[in-house]
Structure 1
Amino acid sequence: MRIPRRAGIVSAAVGLAAAGLAAGYAAQRAWVRRSRGGADPYADEPFGDLPSDEVRLVTAADGTDLYVEVVEPTDGIELDFAVGGVALPPADPTIVFVHGFCLDMGTFHFQRRTLTRRGDHRMVFYDQPGHGRSKSLASGEYRLSALGDALRAVIDETTGDGPVVLVGHSMGGMAVMALAERHPDLFTGRVAGVVLMSTSGSVLGGARIGLPTLAARFARPLLPLVHHGARLTGPVIDQARRASADLAYLLTRRYGFGGPAPSPALVSYVERMNARTSAETVARYLRTLGTHARHPALAALRDVPTLVIVGGRDVITPPEHSEEIVQHLPDAALVTVPDSGHVVMLEHPDEVDAALLAFLDRVMPGGDA
């Protein structure tokens, strides 16, 4: 099939730019490897391979099938009601995790591992539309409002009538805000707590909202192609992705992490999640993410215990975005992890887990929330 001339020009420009940047980034990556002396604390970590008690598909309101995994508590909690044939605790909330753009449920690898070992929390993980093992939207662009509805479907299908705690990272936090905007009734009884990680109430000021870096860099020239046909942009972005593995790795390291020498295995894991998100999905999300503006929706969270976590070196959704959320939610707690970037829960899991566990203990029955 003959590629239209305009698409070919954009493809060539992206490819040349990627190739030109690759040489410098390859040298930097080699320096990173030498500086670590080959040691990698996560070299044998089973990223993306944690057990679940149930796997199911949940169909969102727009017909998109969402891949869901459920982890049940194992510490002998007395159970007294059921959903899908599985008994649930009478009072303890189910924790629903919502990942960010171009990632998947594996974003919460360390939190899932920690909470599974504790065995006293029920957890639900799902891949957002067009991500991971969930299906893509049949046609049209993705809408944040639809992501809020998708989250509602997951809650309805996996948590019975019990309380929930929502944990959203980046675009996942935006999905939580969209849920609050469209279904504020949930936040007057069902939602026992909200955790917002590395997210923003509005990206109109220019946050890159978690785009894979090449897509973000070339988003402006690609948007006309998105408007005239998202499929045309797929080969263009895919060619840029293939231009250099070193470039993809170093851009992931630069824009996802804040520390000077993150684990190579961890950086590669995040890069693989980025790469598994199809170019068509990237293109079909670009416009709607750029129009995110949901500070008014935060009003639904005013009476809900809320924890906000951000990396001090996050260049995608910088700390001031989290600080602005807290201005709208004066009772929310803000935790800033100084040496972390955008994937704070992966880069500094100990700090994030400690804050999350303290928050869960506070919002659980008998806590002091």
Structure 2
Amino acid sequence: MRTMSEVRLSDGVRLHVEVSGPAEADATVVMLHGWCHDRRTWHRQAAALPEALGGATARIVAYDQRGHGRSGATHLRSATLEQLGDDLAAVVDEAAPRGPVVLAGHSLGGMAIMEYAHRHPETFGARVGGLVFVGTTAEGHTHTRYGLPTPLAGVLRTAETMGAGVLARCGAWRPHRAVLPALSPGVRWLLFGDEYESADLDICLRALGRASLRSIGGFRTSVGAQLRLDTLAALGDVPAAVLVGDKDRLTPPACARSIADALPGAALTVAEGAGHMLMMERPQLVTDALADVVARATASGEWQTGYEQAA
């Protein structure tokens, strides 16, 4: 049974949270969505994971990050990855107060997990027993080419960065909701690989329509600047999976390889023909990876990370 709840943060922002599964489960799986998306991008994994676990049990927590979905708006000064890492720490404290936690992050969500590890190393080490990174990066926009030749990608990045600064100062407006049908071909090209389902594209478009101009533009600076490979390398042999589509135009395979290289306990999977939305394009692949990490994380004594072992 799925229940709706909320987590109120110290600055007054309210996060919309969905929770399912028993409170005394073997592990809690927290799912974090990407930039301008919402918790629904993980809906297939949230539905399929309990059966995929076999005899184990999991409490599943999926939430809309600040400025996204049904969660409260963010102030411009709080539209940063650092703040998202602090928000995740608050969600873990409230929604998963005991037992090992497996964190699954897509795109912006994966970067928020890295900030949680960087800013709250003791708590992270004591609680987090497994990691699943999907279509994300620890190196900002270092490898992002948008599927274009390098010179054109550089021009587009400059234009995107300048445009994001303008959008960030436009507040809570959502004028793009009126032109979502016109945006559909571009969103489809940017997010998906060879194949996609129209219902999945619709979920992405509706999530984009919910995001304010401040959310669309405000996070761009910290996303482009983040460098967290050293943070990942400090985690030790934590059970982890890193997945990416070979046609991901936003976080290409080079991003995933560097993350997997930094995490000795990580298994790397590159999905042929898939784009950025791997949870939708290859749902079983992502579900199986989640189930494997949960199984490894809940094995006797294995869920302690390097931080805790060093404490």
Distance in 2, matches of 1:127 and 1:344, equals 18
Matches within 5 A, 1:52-131: 52=2, 54-73=3-22, 87-89=23-25, 92-117=26-51, 120-131=57-68
Q: Which residue of 2 aligns with 1:175?
A: 112
Q: Which residue of 2 aligns with 1:161?
A: 98
Pairing 1:200–2:137 present: yes
Pairing 1:313–2:247 present: yes
Counterpart of 2:189, as a letter, is R
Do the aligned partners of 1:141 and 1:288 also contact (CA within 8 Å) in 2? no
C-alpha distance 294-63 of structure 1, shift in aligned 2 (>3 A): farther
Distance in 1, matches of 2:161 and 2:19, equals 39
- Give structure 1 stretches of 5+ with no counterpart: 1-50, 74-86, 210-214
Matches within 5 A, 1:165-244: 165-205=102-142, 207=144, 218-223=159-164, 225=166, 230-231=169-170, 234=173, 238=175, 242-243=178-179
Do the aligned partners of 1:225 and 1:232 also contact (CA within 8 Å) in 2? no
Distance in 2, matches of 1:357 and 1:255, equals 28
Q: Aligned pairs, how many?
A: 291
User: Aligned to 1:122, what secondary structure does the other structure show?
Assistant: strand
Do the aligned partners of 2:132 and 2:289 also contact (CA within 8 Å) in 1? no
CA deviations 1:68-105 (Å, max 9, x no partner) are 111014xxxxxxxxxxxxx423xx11111111110001
Q: TM-score normalized by structure 1?
A: 0.72
Do the aligned partners of 2:16 and 2:63 also contact (CA within 8 Å) in 1? yes
Distance in 1, matches of 2:164 and 2:186, equals 21
Distance in 1, matches of 2:216 and 2:157, equals 10
Q: CA deviation at 1:192?
A: 0.8
Counterpart of 1:174, as a letter, is M
Match of 2:214 among 264, 268, 280: 280
Distance in 2, matches of 1:59 and 1:326, equals 34
Distance in 2, matches of 1:63 and 1:191, equals 26
User: Aligned to 1:290, what secondary structure does the other structure show?
Assistant: helix
Cα-Cα RMSD: 2.6
User: Aligned to 2:188, what secondary structure does the other structure show?
Assistant: helix
Counterpart of 1:105, as a letter, is R
Q: CA deviation at 1:340?
A: 0.7
Do the aligned partners of 1:258 and 1:341 also contact (CA within 8 Å) in 2? yes
Pairing 1:328–2:279 present: no
